[in-house]
Amino acid sequence: MLNKYARAFFTRVLTPFAALLLRLGVSPDAVTLIGTAGVMAGALVFFPMGEFFWGTIVITIFVFSDLVDGNMARQAGISSRWGAFLDSTLDRVADGAIFGGFALWYAGNGDDNVLCAVAIFCLASGQVVSYTKARGESIGLPVAVNGLVERAERLVISLVAAGLAGLHEFGVPGVQVLLPIGLWIVAVGSLITLVQRVVTVRRESAEADAAEAAAAGPGSGTAR
């Protein structure tokens, strides 16, 4: 849901900035690469040190590159399969860095093996949720379901929770608990989304197989 409405809003807001970058001779691929590098730096430098507020600020600045690069490509009329592939691939890298940063904190100074495991589960389940849709579509199925927690929801929940938890550094009491709550919400939501997509692919594949068998007719099977 966030992916549908928030993306449309921010695309309109960032259109002038995308046009400016094009006039300056910046390519959409360069924006994609710089944005991913910025997200990785914010997550893997600040989060393992427990600097959740500043890490979230850095990541938020660079995460909008995911909207700017596509906007640039459309304005310039240079949308391509390569650009879509690069964007999707580096999205997975950025997501892995964010939840990897959380896992490193809890494996180190955060000293909480359970939350470290939850962060790793968020990382892995997010990758698999994306894979199930891509793989289903690659075998010709529509995968007509988004699920409870998509990438936009995973990022918003985890980054808002981390940013607010980081306010503890400025003397705000009790906010540290928000990051564990956010990670648990993402973990459970990702699991539900994964189940939703797997069930959908199973149903759609059964329907497609039945339709093919019906179209082939009763006499087309191989004799045994």
- The model's pLDDT over 161-191, given as tens digits with 9 standing for 90+, comes to 999 999 999 999 999 999 999 999 999 999 9
Residue 162 token pair: 């981390």
Residue 3 token pair: 């992916």
Helices (H), ranges, 24-80 = 28-41, 52-63, 65-76
Note whether 193 and 150 are within 8 A (CB): yes
Closest CA to 187 of 103, 71, 111, 108: 103
Region 99-128: mean pLDDT is 97
Q: Identify whether 91 is a catalytic site residue.
A: yes
Q: Phi and psi at residue 111, in whole multiples of 5°?
A: 50, 55
pLDDT at position 9: 74
- Residue ranges of the binding site for Mg(2+): 66, 69, 87, 91
H/E element, 152: helix 151-165
Closest CA to 183 of 92, 97, 116: 116
- Residue ranges of the binding site: 29-32, 66, 69-70, 74, 80, 87, 91
d(Cα 222, Cα 224) in Å, to the nearest integer?
6
Is a pLDDT exceeding 60 seen at residue 6?
A: yes
Domain 8-213: which CATH class? mainly alpha
Amino acid making up residue 93: V
- The model's pLDDT over 13-45, given as tens digits with 9 standing for 90+, comes to 888 888 999 999 999 999 999 999 999 999 999
d(Cα 125, Cα 186) in Å, to the nearest integer?
9
d(Cα 74, Cα 80) in Å, to the nearest integer?
10
